[in-house]
Structure 1
Amino acid sequence: MTTAPEHPAATGHRSGPYLAADPDDLIRRFVREGDHLHAAATMSRPNALLNAVCRTFAGSRSLTVSTTAVHSSAHALALSGAVRKVITGFVGDTYPSPRPNRLYRELAEGRPFEIEMWSLLSYTQRLMAAALGQPFATTGSRLAETDLRHGKEGSLHLVPHPEDPERTVALLSPLRPRFALFHGVVADSRGNIVACPPLGEGPWAAYAATDGVLASVEAIVDDEVVAAMPDRVVIPAARVLGLCEAPLGAHPQSLRTGRLAGVDGYLDDYDFLTGIVGACKTPETAAAWYEEWVGGVSGHAEYLEKLGGRRRSGLLFPAPPGDSAVAEKTAPPADAPAAPTEQEQLIVLGARAVADLVRERGYDTLLAGIGTSHMSAWLAARLLADDGVQVRVAAELGLQSMEPEPGDVFLFSQRHAERSQMLAGVAETLGGAVAANPRCLGVLSAAEIDPDANINTTLLPDGRWITGSGGANDIASTVDCVVIAVASARRYVPRLAHLTSPGRRVRDVVSQFGRFTRTGAGDAFELTSWLPPVPGRGRTEADLPDGPEAAVRDLTGWDFPDGSTGVSAFLNDEKPVTTEELALLRTMDPEGHYR
């Protein structure tokens, strides 16, 4: 059994944080089997610390880990066998596009660990309640109306609304880990930790943790350096129990530093991320990846040595003058098809629908969900701007009024952060910019969607895991939404395998052959615009439906009222995807990740 000596916090007195030699030293000193560790997430996680956790507790299956999302190198948690339970909102992959990961096919059955799923905002609100010393948090996210309520009898409570007896209020129990793991830009020897926005969940876990914070930073600097920038201290020294240096401690994720104290920022390592996705396709290759990069590595110094100086320097951001790696990608490859693919037609039709809704209803903010939905939101904002209409695009981790960098399709890239007018966190974005804003339009994707627009992004009918809610439930619960999803009988279903996000605020659903609309919740959807579909997903020209009624019949499994074909009597023809729309989309996605 792995144990730790009594640490200074238990004695009631300490002169400063324990300054560890490296992440492994820090974890070995403080963490015990059975502990609840929280991996705090900004635009990244404390990945060097998590790797140390995996090495130290491999095979113990004893730890509880909470973190906003399990993806990329956090798959080591599953591969190490160190974890008994994970509390999160997303389990899968995010780059190059959101998708399930084979490691979690049996997650619903408790393998490779037990899972407790929340939405991103409700998860953050639980941390905030603990940090503020409150017995409960309240939330506007409608978890109780979905299958996310299951297994939360002690954590999710419905009570009568104090002003309206016909309504209820959802109360969430506080989330109190023992230790919060955090990776910052720099810290002083006293333990004050500096970080740069966007801050994701922010510092709430640092205050929520019953014992305190174990932190890694790019560099420990002189006290005077941090004293000169008190406005950048995110976690105060009083909460920090232990501290170590770990350059590139968020790798393979990114870290924005603002060049504070001369520390370089760095980008997500896309090659490394795609390598992880590929490795997880079989148990053998996943185990080999884990042994190469985590289990068989002596510590963070060896990890950096394996990465190599050339790779590390290639991730620096902002890039050195003259670096045009992204600019070179913005031109579509010469072999790109002349006509739109099925997915490109979907994205363009989605963008048109979003732009129409902004004009019709006066939305001022688009909350872009990850996937084809964020590509449509980005494209809609560009098309509206060309017409002199301004709409702001936000992403759930804290990017607001963002102008995406052409050529980089990852929703949470630091390149987009640099081109945003405001950088904040989850609470300010999913709360202030979304839940409190009646002029926000959510733009979402779906793995399954039923005739009432309820959304499933969690479980397939055969029990295989998809990804989870992320912020989708929070968005769908509180603002008007449009859902953008390729139509098929397996996706547009009569009944969901799992209800992840409520559909009452969804007024429009966009498919690859047109837009479904309804006048209000409870009303039936009808196809109100039509563009003949193009070949895709194994379908040739000969397989395509002949007309809108056939498309609705063959490419959806929705039930419609008696006598209805699901097609509006006032059906409008969509114009074909224009050369300009396609060129703009391919400038955004030159490598064809969404093609």
Structure 2
Amino acid sequence: MKKNQKKVGKVFGLKEAIERYVRPQMKLHLAGGIGGPGAAICEIIRQYSGSAPGIELIQSTVTGHAINLIHANLVKKVIFSACIQISQTAHPSKVIQRAYANKKIELENWSLLSLQQRLMAGALGVGFMPTRSLIGSTLTSDNPQAFREMDDPFNRGETIGVLKALNPDLSIVHGCASDEFGNTILPVPYGDDIWGSLASTKGVVITAEKIVSSDVIRKYGSLVKIPGSVVKAVCLAPMGIHPFSFTSPIDDVESYETDNEFLEDLHQASSDNRKLDDWLNDWIFECPTQDHYLEKLGSQKISTLKTWAKRSPSLNKGLSETSTSDPVYGYTKDDMVVVAAAREIVHSVVKSNHKTMLVGAGTWSRSARLAYHRLIGKGYDIELITGNGQIGYIPQAGESSTQSVSGIKSANMLTDTITTHGVFVGGKNSQCLSILGAGQIDRYGNINSSRTYDGDFLVGTGGANDAANANEVILILNQSRKRFIETLPYITASGDKVTKVISTMGVYRKDPGKAELFLMGCLPDPEGTSLEEKIKEIESRCAWPLKSDQAIGYLPEPTKDELQLLRSIDY
């Protein structure tokens, strides 16, 4: 800065900022919580609807409003980790599947960690970044332009992956608070929100819940993750990542919870192009600004979402169990799967002395929560972590697949994806057990969540490939011949670290490496089917010749204390 030159404020209206800085054909990075900067995405759709700007979208998790960019034909290529439709649970996106099947978009899939490592390399100004992810998966052959395997120059006999640096043109990030010069405090955890902004060659557009004084920024200087020197524009956008949750790390800005009702409406509309056109007309084109969007959302809904976010987190660990082990009846098949998986998780933690458990999203995450409370109740020191940066969080009753504000507030540490997956899961001193769902598996525990035999897109790797670098991996999934298949059409993640698979029919185990799964126990059958008939039924729902343990039998039914504990964490 020249002598006596004053700093110039960078506050713009959102419409003006998008007009000024977003350009056709650019590599556009979006970040700021799950789903990214929703208010900015809606403005891009308003301005570019009816044209074909050919944007190259870079975003870790493409969901919510970001999927509508693809429906509106504004994106030619997506560089991503997961493309999913999120409501109460996560689903493959019909919008993405239609666009990919009709060859309207190109998909370039990376794991959560490897995408951030590429952006980190871009920010650091180095040409490449080493990684432990991707090796052993189809992702390596899918991305020869930006991935190589090489001999580790410092560890003879070992192989390392190398990722090409990635530099977006522009990054749009939703922040918690920013001053007029662009110094920005981000919501927590930081997830995938930092490195893309620092790697962007043409700078950053910030949308912020609140524009504050520089005195406030200095007060929270340790929380500023994006410096004003890289920022081109600051735009006020309250509730700017709605419908997803927003957790503020400072008292000056209010948090808000996920709007599940809104997400479910969007999910239903996305099943059909015409329905989604109508939805976009209602929520984007007839709401020309963020203020109009919030007016349509309604003050009562906004107040409710903010009130929910003010709930104090439950800090109860190791919810009590009764002393009885008598089996009880009236449980569901899903309950049995959850209980069986929790038992296997507890066994692995105790046997291998794991210190952390990485929990994937989805219905079966209930198993990890149940195991967590049982372990803590028995005096074991175990912490739950998530791929987006929650370390040592306490599961909250009734949590869905999306993160809750109260859950985030219960964490001992809030960090980013590189620290979580790169250090706590796959790092040198890792003592982590990963618990994951899966779309398909083969006999070696390899996972597919990417593509079908017909080439249809599923959801992408997300963090599964990175999670497979943990000390041990346990998988939970529904069983059918379409899921337990002979040869996977795509290997999303290697099964080398998989030791157990819990299906809706039985429990399987395997040794680490390229060993085969074998059936060691059948889930109880309330219809009284004989063990021999049950094994034949399980074999009929597995596409490879299934091996069984010699001492195979029915597993014990859920006990009263297991079910009571499960109910207490569900509600």
TM-score (norm 1): 0.88
Q: Alignment partner for residue 411 of structure 2, among 420, 441, 445?
A: 420
Contact 2:432 2:470 survives alignment (8 Å): no
CA drift of 1:27 comes to 0.5
Is 1:525 matched with 2:506?
A: no
Is 1:55–1:80's contact at 8 Å kept on the other side of the alignment? no
Q: 1:478 to 1:323 in 2, by over 3 A?
A: closer
Distance between the aligned counterparts of 2:312 and 2:172, measured in 1? 37
Which residue is 2:277 aligned to?
287
1:366 and 2:347 aligned: no
For the Cα contact (< 8 Å) 2:109–2:139, is it kept in 1?
yes
In structure 2, what is the Cα distance between the partners aligned to 1:259 and 1:212?
25
- Following superposition, the deviation at residue 149 of structure 1 comes to 2.3
Task: Using the TM superposition, give the Cα deviation of residue 342 of structure 1 relative to its aligned residue in structure 2, in angstroms.
Answer: 2.3
Partner of 1:126: 118
Cross-structure match for 1:327: none
2:292 equivalent in structure 1: 302
- CA shift, 1:155, in A, is 0.6
Which of the residues 192, 206, 210 maps onto 2:183? 192
Q: Equivalent residue for 2:570?
A: 589
Equivalent of 1:567 in 548, 559, 565: 548
Specify whether residues 266 and 382 from structure 1 end up closer, same or farther in structure 2 by C-alpha distance, changes over 3 A only.
same
Q: Secondary structure at the match of 1:397?
A: coil
Could you tell me how far apart the structure 2 residues matched to 1:211 and 1:407 are? 43
Equivalent position to 2:436, from 441, 444, 450: 444
Residue of structure 2 aligned with 1:508, choices 463, 483, 500: 500
CA distance in 1 between counterparts of 2:385 and 2:312 reads: 29
**Percent identity between the two aligned chains:** 28
Q: Aligned equivalents of 2:362 and 2:558: distance in 1?
A: 20
Task: Say yes or no: does 1:63 pair with 2:22.
Answer: no
Deviations 1:30-82 (A, max 9, x none): 11111111002435521111111122222314111111111122221112211
Contact 2:448 2:491 in 1 (8 A): yes
Q: Which shifted more, 524-533 or 204-213?
A: 524-533
**Which runs of structure 2 are paired with 1:516-555 in the superposition (5 Å)?**
516-533=508-525, 541=527, 547-555=533-541
Q: What residue in structure 1 maps to residue 303 of structure 2?
A: 313
1:273 aligns with 2:263: yes
Report the TM-score, using the length of structure 2 for normalisation.
0.91
How far is the alpha carbon of 1:199 from its aligned partner?
Answer: 0.5
Q: CA deviation at 1:474?
A: 0.7
Whether 2:542 is the aligned partner of 1:556: answer yes
In structure 1, list runs of 5 or more residues that go unmatched. 1-12, 325-336, 535-540, 561-565, 591-595
Q: Is 1:138–1:171's contact at 8 Å kept on the other side of the alignment?
A: yes
C-alpha distance after superposition, 1:494-545 (max 9, x if no partner): 11121111111111111223311123322222112232246xxxxxx59998
Residue 577 of structure 1: aligned partner: 558
Asked whether the 8 Å contact 2:396–2:407 carries over to 1, the reply is yes
Aligned length, in residue pairs = 553
Task: Pick closer, same or farther for the CA change 1:415–1:53 going to 2, 3 Å.
Answer: same
The match for 1:170 is: 161
Q: Is residue 507–residue 523 contact of structure 2 (8 Å, CA) maintained in 1? A: no
**Partners of 1:94 and 1:345 in 2: CA distance:** 25
CA distance in 1, matches of 2:192, 2:258: 19
Cα 1:385–1:411, aligned 2, differ >3 Å: closer, same or farther? farther
* Residue 425 of structure 2, aligned match among 420, 430, 434: 434
Distance 2:530 2:41 in 1: 48
Shift of 1:343: 2.3
| Compared CA separation, residues 39 and 322, structure 1 to 2 (3 A) | closer
Distance in 2 (alpha carbons) for counterparts of 1:101 and 1:424? 28
SS in 1 for 2:86: coil
Q: State the 1:413 CA deviation.
A: 1.8
Describe the shift of the 1:544–1:173 C-alpha distance in structure 2 as closer, same or farther (beyond 3 A).
Answer: farther
User: Which 10-residue stretch deviates more, 244-253 or 97-106?
Assistant: 97-106
